[in-house]
Chain A
């Protein structure tokens, strides 16, 4: 066999798998979104985007992404730098930090719900310490800000590790010589971080950001567990169209809207964090 074909043969199984289980279903969904009453039209889009909760859920999803992703980037950068400096116990710390990654979204939501609920850990702790007289309702409809903060906290706790893992790998790729040279010229740790780590981390940062931002638009289970109907998000709307209203066309249309937003943000990130031509580590 000619070695020229080897790479193609090696990626063939994955390609076939993706075509069968991703591309084909995706085409079906895309078709369904434009199909209503037996003909092709934009009816599903008009219906779902005209619903009064659409703008609220779009806004909520965006706000949540805006609040969560920057915190996660900074946290992940901080944690990755700390881990890469460690001489001993590095693996152990990494394992512990990535535990939330192994927990399903819904389970994470339920864990945080157990903290914030009326008879939850936070309330029992506060009453036990005598800070408050009796358990307060934290996740109620009259505290929308608290609901938002609880969801943001749960999301940060749950999904920072995915960025951390990518960034740790990225930092490992940066040659030590640059740091040694910088030290010789008297660069402070902060300068080294800004001038060496950040620029050279660009490709990993790009990957991590794309992954995280796309996932942020798909947030669902954590929101359901903590906010219920109080905090409608895009994925919740899709779920309710598919299963509560049994309107698969509407769900498909909304799914395409989310896809469009994800693609738009991916392109922006790709452009903003692009690696200049010819630049290598």
Chain B
């Protein structure tokens, strides 16, 4: 070995050591949210920069996110400081693995969210971080085909079906877009929108006669839906390329369309069925794993994230709305404005029938959603008989509820013990 290579080796070794100690000082924020590169960068530059001590913001797919967390928990020591994830990700965990956060003194301004964040225990397991919802959006070219007398801010499912049929008749193309792809959030549509609107329930009414009607209506809507929907996951793409004119999706999965061409699209509330206008929030939280290397720094970061100015910066970076009361500034991006208005109209509508996120399912959250996705695939894609599919899937759902012992949540009527499938 020459003197030069020896020297180079020593220098790089030193650099690695320094790098390691430098990384130690920052809090590792291990998140499943704000994954797109622009959003992650905006989180680092505009949201987390103000935190003293520095933050290493690392967004990841759910799989790797969970794998590393589980490895650290099993090893009993780790480097993750703060976890960011959906309510569903946290509810699938063992609450003992998360540090109780009651003494932080920061909570969201929604009692419902704070209760959800206890994950069925007596203590706060995560702190609500930001929220969103699912809404409808349309290309302005589609507005001329609205059925006569229909108010876009108070549509019914029948009017939506008629509207999509009109569009198909006029353009010769099926222009309704539905996120039915592998990564699409279709299950939330069934759990939070279709079922509450038609049956005023999600679990109890799973195989009711009203549910049969709901699926018949959805089948009708599907007949005017772009058949490529089984590959769609972020409806903003299809809005922008014109493959779909009327779509349903998560607010942050529509944002790009509004931000790129704010004058071309409108956002509006989800439609209503016989039992009201069902809709569902999306709740994102922050938790601290019991293996966090620096508990104080992690707690300080969680508190920092709930400050009003951080919440507004987060809104601008991710299009997710604050969970604390803040005055929205005038310069919010177009997508935030459009989605915010639609959500406000939706929740203030006289027939609003808000649902809650599934709670108490523990590690059965994935199985629960699979019941609805399977039902969709069998009834709509495979064209099987609605009644027999529902009766078949009902047994699977009943077993999940029995195994997890989860009580009913709104809009289902409360239950003693596990929520029954009637």
Interface string of B351-379 (1 = CB under 8 A from A): 00000000000010111011001100100
Q: Which B residue's beta carbon lies closest to that of A242?
A: B63
Asked whether A229 lies within 8 Å of B182 as measured between CB atoms, the reply is yes
Residue B141 interfacial (CB < 8 Å): no
The CA of A192 and the CA of B402, in the complex, are separated in Å by: 69
**Assembled-state Cα–Cα distance A113/B182 (Å):** 14
Q: How far is the CA of A142 from the CA of B382 in the complex (A)?
A: 9
Q: Is the CB of B243 within 8 A of A118?
A: yes
Chain A 174-215 interface 0/1 with B at a Cβ cutoff of 8 Å (1 = within): 000000000000000000000000000000000000000000
**Nearest Cβ on chain B to A227's Cβ, whole angstroms:** 9
Residues of B within 8 A of A229 (CB): 180-182, 230, 373, 377
How would you classify the secondary structure of chain B's contact residues: helix, strand, loop or mixed?
helix
A134 within 8 A of B: yes
B56 close to A (CB within 8 Å): no
Establish whether residues A137 and B63, one from each chain, have CB atoms under 8 Å apart when the complex forms: no
Residue tally, chain A, CB below 8 Å to B:
24
Contact residues in B for A244 (Cβ distance below 8 Å)? 366, 369-370
B243, A119: Cβ atoms closer than 8 Å: yes
Residues of B within 8 A of A139 (CB): 228, 231
B266 at the interface (CB under 8 A from A): no
- B208: Cβ under 8 A from any A Cβ: no
- Nearest chain B CB to A24's CB is how many angstroms away? 15
Docked CA distance A243–B243 (Å):
30
Residues B92 and A141 in contact, CB atoms below 8 Å apart: no
> How long is the Cα–Cα vector from A137 to B104 in the complex, in angstroms?
53
Contacts of B62 in A (CB 8 A): 243
Q: Does A246 contact B (CB under 8 A)?
A: yes
Residues of A within 8 A of B373 (CB): 229
List the A residue with the shortest CB-CB distance to B233. A228
- Please indicate the chain A residues that have their CB under 8 angstroms from the CB of B101 in the complex: none
B142: Cβ under 8 A from any A Cβ: no
Check if B173 is an interface residue, CB within 8 A of chain A: yes
Is B381's CB within 8 Å of the partner chain A?
yes
Asked whether A55 is an interface residue with its Cβ less than 8 Å from the other chain, the reply is: no
Chain A residues with Cβ below 8 Å from B363 are 246-247
Interfacial residues of chain A within 119-169, with CB under 8 A of chain B in the complex: 119, 134, 137, 139-142
Instruction: Let me know if B66 is at the binding interface, CB within 8 A.
Output: yes
Q: Mark A108-124, 1 if CB is under 8 A from B, else 0.
A: 00000100011100000
Give B221-249 as 1s and 0s: 1 = Cβ < 8 Å from A's Cβ atoms: 00000111011000000000101000000
Q: Can you offer 11 A-B residue contacts whose CB atoms are under 8 A? A: A52-B374, A118-B226, A134-B172, A239-B63, A243-B63, A244-B366, A244-B370, A245-B367, A246-B92, A246-B365, A247-B366
The 3 closest A-B pairs by CB, nearest first: A140-B227, A245-B366, A243-B63
B residues whose Cβ falls under 8 Å from a Cβ of A: 62-63, 66, 92, 172-173, 180-182, 226-228, 230-231, 241, 243, 363, 365-367, 369-370, 373-374, 377, 381
